[in-house]
């Protein structure tokens, strides 16, 4: 990243975030509110322990502002340094700001206004990724640019790239690290992400759907499955209320439920990867789904599609034949097998032509 000469010695962190249009590289330089000075991320992030920063489920009051160019960015950061944030008590943050994901924008949040995000929901991946490492009262300057071969479309209003922005965190409520959650709490997050992934996919937000499924998978693979007997006791506690805290207990998922949703998530991820032209990854995801649940027809179909895209015709044929075992007379499987036979015939004809030329 090209930086201002005043900042040449600052270690600038970067990561890749997802939006409806594709993948974007985000570069960040953290600045503190009030009279605190600009700091390097390397030391600051180490000092920002999980108890100092928002965690999964935290309600975060944030504001995102766009900058047209880096000169304006420096001016805005300077102005922000003189601004005193009025910290709101975390007990006053009660509702998440509702806004739709937009297909033609990189930054999903309403710009210029204070809004409330629930960390971990993935409403705006770029903003959430910034907030994860911030303390209340901090401001972060970011520069956003498209990842090569990772972007479907450019947003009309954001053609002047890279795009500069600032993210401010006013306050947040307590949250939890994933390892602090009980299995039931994780299970609720997993189901929420899975449902959100389906909504996004149906709306055409394939990258967003893949992000939701990925979030669900990261949580579900950490779930510890209870043994028989222990699981039954956990189910007996379902929907009970802790008389000491007043908190509702969560239903513990069964081993079969965890296995089934893992398979479905991998299968759904495979479909997303096919849509964004990642056949190698789609094949891997489909294989994981079929290993978990061999009777899931959709996973075999997606494995066959991925193998077709990779020109692995024999593997594709096996996948579609397995689909026919599960769904006899499946039109999709029959058509795919016909297409494979036709492709093999063409390949053999081309090979024969090349050999004839070699020995003629």
39-89 per-position pLDDT tens digit: 333 334 444 555 688 999 999 999 999 876 445 444 444 444 434 444 444
pLDDT at 90: 53
The helix (run of H) or strand (run of E) holding residue 13 is none
User: What does DSSP say about strands 22-32 and 59-67: parallel, antiparallel, or unpaired?
Assistant: unpaired
CA–CA distance, 34 with 83 (Å, rounded to integer): 6
Residue range 191-242, pLDDT digits in tens: 999 999 999 999 999 999 999 999 999 999 888 754 444 344 444 444 444 4
At 200, list the tokens: 């996004």
**Between the CA of residue 215 and those of 17, 56, 106, 186, 192, what are the distances in Å?**
13, 11, 19, 11, 10
pLDDT(324) > 50? yes
Do 21 and 204 contact (CB within 8 A), yes or no?
no
SS3 161: coil
Residues paired with residue 248 on neighbouring β-strands, in sequence order? 241
What token pair was written down for 83? 């601004």
Rounded to whole angstroms, the Cα distance separating 27 from 144 reads 7
Candidate from 83-87, 199-203, 251-255, 326-330 with smallest mean pLDDT: 83-87
Closest CA to 290 of 275, 300, 280, 277: 300
> Do the Cβ atoms of 281 and 271 come closer than 8 Å?
no
Task: Give how far the C-alpha of residue 72 lies from the chain's centroid of Cα atoms, to the nearest Å.
Answer: 31
Mean pLDDT of the chain, nearest integer: 78
* Domains identified in the chain and CATH numbers: 9-177 (3.10.50.40), 181-226+251-351 (1.25.40.10)
* Helix-then-strand count for the chain, H and E: 11, 6
> 97 and 86 in contact (C-beta within 8 Å)?
no
pLDDT of residue 259: 93
What pLDDT does 308 receive? 95
Please give the Cα distance from 265 to 289 (Å, whole number): 8
Distance, CA of 325 to CA of 305 (rounded, Å) = 17
Higher-pLDDT residue of 156, 125: 125
Choose the most confident range, by mean pLDDT, from 173-177, 280-284, 349-353: 280-284
């Amino acid at each position: 990243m090209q930086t201002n000469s005043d900042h040449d010695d600052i270690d600038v962190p970067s990561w890749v975030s997802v939006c409806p249009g594709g993948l974007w590289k985000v570069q960040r330089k953290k600045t503190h509110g009030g009279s605190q000075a600009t700091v390097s991320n390397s030391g600051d992030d180490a000092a920002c322990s999980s108890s100092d920063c928002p965690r999964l489920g935290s309600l975060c009051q944030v504001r995102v502002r766009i900058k047209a160019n880096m000169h304006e960015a420096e001016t805005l950061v300077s102005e922000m340094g003189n601004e005193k944030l009025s910290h709101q008590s975390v007990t006053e943050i009660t509702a998440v700001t509702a806004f739709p994901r937009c297909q033609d924008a990189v930054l999903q949040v309403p710009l210029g206004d204070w809004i409330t995000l629930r960390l971990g929901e993935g409403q705006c991946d770029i903003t959430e990724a910034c907030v994860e490492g911030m303390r209340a009262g901090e401001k972060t300057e970011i520069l956003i640019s498209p990842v090569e071969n990772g972007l479907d479309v450019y947003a009309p209003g954001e053609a002047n790239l890279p795009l500069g922005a600032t993210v401010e965190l006013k306050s947040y409520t307590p949250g939890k690290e994933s390892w602090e959650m009980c299995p039931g709490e994780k299970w609720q997050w997993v189901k929420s992400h899975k449902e959100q992934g389906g909504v996004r996919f149906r709306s055409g937000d394939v990258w967003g759907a893949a992000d939701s499924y990925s979030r669900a998978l990261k949580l579900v693979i950490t779930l510890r499955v209870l043994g028989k007997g222990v699981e039954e006791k956990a189910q007996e506690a379902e929907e009970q209320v802790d008389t000491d805290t007043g908190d509702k207990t969560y239903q513990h998922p069964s081993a079969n439920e965890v296995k089934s949703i893992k398979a479905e998530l991998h299968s759904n991820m495979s479909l997303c990867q096919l849509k964004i032209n990642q056949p190698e990854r789609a094949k891997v995801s489909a294989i994981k789904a079929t290993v978990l649940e061999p009777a899931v027809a959709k996973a075999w179909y997606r494995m066959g599609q991925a193998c077709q895209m990779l020109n692995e015709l024999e593997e594709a044929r096996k996948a579609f034949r397995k689909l026919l075992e599960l769904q006899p007379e499946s039109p999709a499987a029959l058509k795919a097998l016909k297409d494979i036979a036709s492709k093999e015939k063409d390949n053999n004809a081309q090979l024969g032509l090349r050999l004839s030329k070699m020995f003629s």
